[in-house]
């Protein structure tokens, strides 16, 4: 039902670490880039279909997208279109630690064009609260409103 791995962010392995096998991933590409200070990818790359999101955890550097250098700092999320050529480089002052996420494109999603989620196939069970929320009337009311909003979206589409 789940897979788990652990990477010590205080001492991560260098360069690019793909997590597909560690997590038995089937539908999402996920990697961790730990680029040593002053170093960078030795080539640009793009994708045929997959967009990528770069999530900066620590350090600073740049991401080169086509002919543009974009400064990176912790908390940055950068979405890159599939066809755009890209590469990472750490600043001279610090390593750059980045999560890279991507997924295959599918014609079937989102099912609702107003969805905030790309893959909007989640099925909420509004009445089955996790143990830390059981009996919390505020949470029960929030879920009631969320259920009503979702039902409205279904009828509007």
121-149: average pLDDT: 88
Mean predicted lDDT score pLDDT of the chain: 89
Q: What is the pLDDT at residue 52?
A: 94
* CA gyration radius, the chain: 20
Query: How distant is the alpha carbon of residue 129 from its chain centre?
Result: 26
Indicate whether 148 and 96 sit together in one domain.
no
Q: What is the bridge-based pairing of β-strands 86-90 and 61-65?
A: antiparallel
* Domain boundaries, position 26: 15-103
Torsional sign, CA 48, 119, 75, 55:
negative
For the domain that residue 25 is a member of, what is the CATH number?
Answer: 2.60.120.10
Question: Cα-flanking dihedrals φ and ψ of residue 138, to 5°?
Answer: -65, -45
Q: What is the pLDDT at residue 124?
A: 82
In the chain, the number of structural domains is 2
Q: Which residue, 38, 3, 2, 39, is CA-closest to 22?
A: 3
pLDDT category, 157, cuts 50, 70, 90?
A: low
Q: What is the pLDDT at residue 143?
A: 92
Indicate whether 88 and 20 sit together in one domain.
yes
Q: Tell me the C-alpha distance between 137 and 119, whole Å.
A: 30
* Residue 5 belongs to a domain: no
pLDDT category, 150, cuts 50, 70, 90?
A: confident
Tell me the DSSP string of 92-152: SSS-EEEEEEEE---TT--SSTT-SSSS------TT---GGGTT-HHHHHHHHHHHHHHHH
pLDDT at 74 over 80: yes
* Residue 74 belongs to a domain: yes
Indicate whether 20 and 71 sit together in one domain.
yes
Indicate whether 97 and 116 sit together in one domain.
no
CB 34 within 8 A of CB 14: yes
Q: Tell me the C-alpha distance between 34 and 104, whole Å.
A: 24
pLDDT in tens, 107-130: 777 777 777 766 677 788 888 888
């Amino acid at each position: 039902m789940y897979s788990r791995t652990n990477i010590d962010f205080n001492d991560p392995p260098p360069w690019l670490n793909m997590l597909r096998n560690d997590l038995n991933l089937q539908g999402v590409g996920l990697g961790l880039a730990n680029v040593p200070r002053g170093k960078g990818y030795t080539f640009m790359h793009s994708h045929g279909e997959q967009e990528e999101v770069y999530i900066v955890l620590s350090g600073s550097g740049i991401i080169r997208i086509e002919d543009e250098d974009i400064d990176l700092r912790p908390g940055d999320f950068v979405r890159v279109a599939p066809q755009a050529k890209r590469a990472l480089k750490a600043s001279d002052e610090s390593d750059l630690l980045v999560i890279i996420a991507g997924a295959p494109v599918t014609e079937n999603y989102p099912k609702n064009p107003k969805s905030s989620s790309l893959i909007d196939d989640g099925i909420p069970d509004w009445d089955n609260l996790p143990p830390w929320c059981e009996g919390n009337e505020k949470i029960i009311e929030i879920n009631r409103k969320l259920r009503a909003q979702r039902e409205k979206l279904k009828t509007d589409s």
